[in-house]
Amino acid sequence: MNSDKMLDAKGLACPMPIVKTRKAMNDLQTGQVLEIHVTDKGAKADLAAWSKSGGHELVETAEENDILKFWIRKG
């Protein structure tokens, strides 16, 4: 799916994927979509929970060759 910004957090361990996601999100406008690529499996549940608690929408997730991809719409 289309995104307004892309964040490469591959190879980073917890908590960095969320720390970077949060920072990237600050540069977006409400309704815009951030695409995030990570390899830390723990990020899956954490990004979902973080989106929810921050009022954002986790629109889509995908997994390709051990890379987890997320699309989050800023709320």
Partner 1 sequence: MAFKQMTAAEVSKKVINKTDLFILDVRNESDFNDWKIEGQNFEFLNIPYFDLLDGVEEILDQIPANKEILVVCAKEGSSVMVAEMLSEAGLDVFYLKGGMKAWSEHLEPVRIGELTNGAEIYQFVRLGKGCLSYMVVSNGEAAIIDSTRMIDAYLDFADDIGVKITHVLDTHLHADHISGGRRIAEVTNAAYWLPPKDAAEVTFEYQPLESGNVITIGHTAIDIQALYSPGHTIGSTSFVVDQKYLLSGDILFIDSIGRPDLAGLAEDWVRDLRETLYTRYKELSEELIVLPSHFMIIDELNEDGSVAKKLGSLFAENHGLNIAEETEFRELVTGNLPPQPNAYQEIRETNMGKIEPDDEKQREMEIGPNRCAVR
Which residues are part of the catalytic machinery?
14
- The amino acid at 30: T
Neighbours of 66 (CB within 10 A): 8
- Locate 2 and state its tokens: 């289309």
CA distance 27 to 10: 20
Q: How far is the CB of 2 from partner 1 (least distance, A)?
A: 26
Count of residues in contact with partner 1, rule CB under 8 A? 14
Stretch in the footprint of partner 1 (CB under 8 A) among 1-9, 10-18, 30-38, 56-64: 10-18
Choosing from 7, 9, 18, 25, the residue that interacts with partner 1 (CB under 8 A) is 18
Structure tokens at 60: 């889509």
Q: Does 15 bind partner 1 (CB under 8 A)?
A: yes
